Amino acid sequence: MTNHKESPAHSMEANLKGTILGVAGLLGVEFFPWDNVSFGVKYKLSLTSNFTTETSGSVSIDGPTYSNFNTDSWAVTLGVSF
């Protein structure tokens, strides 16, 4: 019984590079039912785009590009001032 290993005839190494661009903004309202008390709601909206490029040797291939529009986080606030 012998062990036999084969290595691929062509070996390739690929490098994946990417860039992510993003913009975010806050949107909110605040309501003052009394002089020293406030209630608020805040939303964080964001837009991100991802660009990738795969290189293997001297060949460069544009990879997938996608964009996302998200409401990443939100908060409800209570403010009390003295």
Reported as a single tens digit per residue, the pLDDT across 3-57 is 555 555 555 566 667 788 888 898 899 999 998 999 999 998 888 888 877 666 6
Strand order in the sheet with 14-34: 14-34, 37-56, 59-80
- What secondary structure does DSSP assign to 21-34, as a single string? EEEEEEEEEEEEEE
pTM: 0.45
Contact 62, 56 (CB under 8 A): no
Q: Alpha-carbon dihedral of residues 55, 57, 59, 63, nearest 10 degrees?
A: -20
Read off the pLDDT of each residue in 53-67 and give the average, rounded to a whole number: 71
Tokens describing residue 19: 């860039």
